Amino acid sequence: MPEPLLAGYTVLDLASVGPAARTSRWLADYGATVIKVGPTPRHGAAQVKPWFYAYSGHRGMQRVLLDLKEPAGRDAFLRLATRADVVIESFRPGVVGRLGIGYDDVRDVNPGIVYCSTTGYGQDGPYAQRAGHDLGYLAMGGFLDCTGRDGNGGPAIPGATVADSAAGGMHAVMSILAALLRRASTGGGTYLDVAVADGVVALMSLAVDEYLATGEVPGPRHGVLTGRYAWYDVYACADGRWLAVAVIEPHFFANLCRELGCEQWLGHQYDDAAQGAMRADFAAALASRDRDKWVAQLAPADTCVAPVNTVAELVDDPHYRARNVFVDAHSAEHGTIRQVGWVLAGQERDQPPPEIRDVARTDTSELLAAAGYTTTEIDQLRDQGVVA
């Protein structure tokens, strides 16, 4: 098996959930050594304790518990940071500085550190101290307003945490990798201010740039990619399941019309006046047969269709099975559980089944010993409740 792309890099992750936790998950899947840093029991559990299966059960990660409010706990963190390449944190702006573990503090002991602060609205600006979650970032960034409407006429809530995942987690991963590339040539570290709300604007750039250039206000059914045309929509089939149709190219559109027996619409692909009648004809044709029968006919005919799978359907899809998208993981507490595997490009998919560790298990002693602490010092810190 080839060496993972990020083998040899070490990440300290101070987050328990949200975009930052997704960031470290993906970095670990690329082979980085990720150390989750959590609070000691005497200060209670993390604000939000994820389900045992969340973030792939933190497979392949290590764990250390430190009381960062105590000087000795802060010092322990900084000792660990001297051996790290990346620090990820998701506190509100200013918190890590007050704890003495901010970028300047870490840079003093490790000038090459890549320090990634992930927040909802960034480190500055009038909204910097606001609390928030995925739906709010999508709302502020225009995503929800351009999304289809629910039964009450309001923006539909997306079926995935697009802001946390793409605008936050993947945004942070991309930024961290760019900073590591620069460090490879300059030796210098970087501070990264990852704002999820900014990431949503990046995801919305096609719509935002259209408005800035033309004054047209995008929204549902406004453009090609938001359902203006009958050939980019979802349709109900005879069995009550749904089919997604997305035939942007003219030759794909022609294929669809012929397969559905709707040749009357050839030559009218972008005719706005024809879209209502075209949509009705497509709907009537697709409602005549079950979804999977349509997929079997249309997909091989270059018509750009796909089934609207439920999660239960997608995990058994033969294409995903063939590409080893899902793996079986073992947990001493929960037995064998199936989970999303190493699916992103450059990750090695044919790996041994991962082990989901007991959440109570830590690597504190081993990690502190590697950072230079003696056994006596570690025992003293543990007795004082500074580490666990």
Q: In what order do the strands lie in the sheet with 232-236?
A: 232-236, 242-246, 305-307
CA 373 to chain centre: 36
Distance (Å) of CA 87 to CA 17, 107, 167, 258, 380: 15, 11, 19, 56, 26
Q: Find, among 345, 327, 357, the residue nearest to 34 by Cα.
A: 357
Per annotation, catalytic residue among 133, 209, 290, 316: 133
Please list the helix, strand and coil fractions of the chain in percent, rounded to the nearest 5, in that order: 40, 15, 40
Of 240, 248, 239, 229, nearest in space to 304 by CA: 248
Residue 114 near residue 86, CB atoms below 8 Å:
yes
Q: Active-site residue 164, yes or no? A: yes
Q: Are 194 and 172 in contact (CB under 8 A)?
A: yes
What phi and psi, each to the nearest 5 degrees, are found at residue 149? -90, 150
Choice among 105, 134, 164, 281 that is catalytic? 164
The conformation of residue 158, written as its DSSP 8-state character, comes to P
Q: Tokens 């990346």 belong to which residue?
A: 86
What residue has token string 């998950």? 25
- In the block, residue with structure tokens 């802001």: 163
CB of 30 closer than 8 Å to CB of 4: yes
191 pairs with which residues across the strands?
115
- C-alpha to C-alpha distances, 11 to 50, 63, 86, 110, nearest whole angstrom: 20, 11, 5, 13
Catalytic status, residue 105? no
Give the whole-angstrom CA distance, residue 161 versus residue 174.
Answer: 18
- The edge-to-edge listing of strands for the beta sheet with 33-38 is 62-65, 33-38, 10-13, 86-89, 114-119, 190-195
Residue 100: both structure tokens together: 């003495």
Whole-angstrom distance, CA of residue 340 vs CA of residue 314? 11
Residues forming the active site: 133, 164
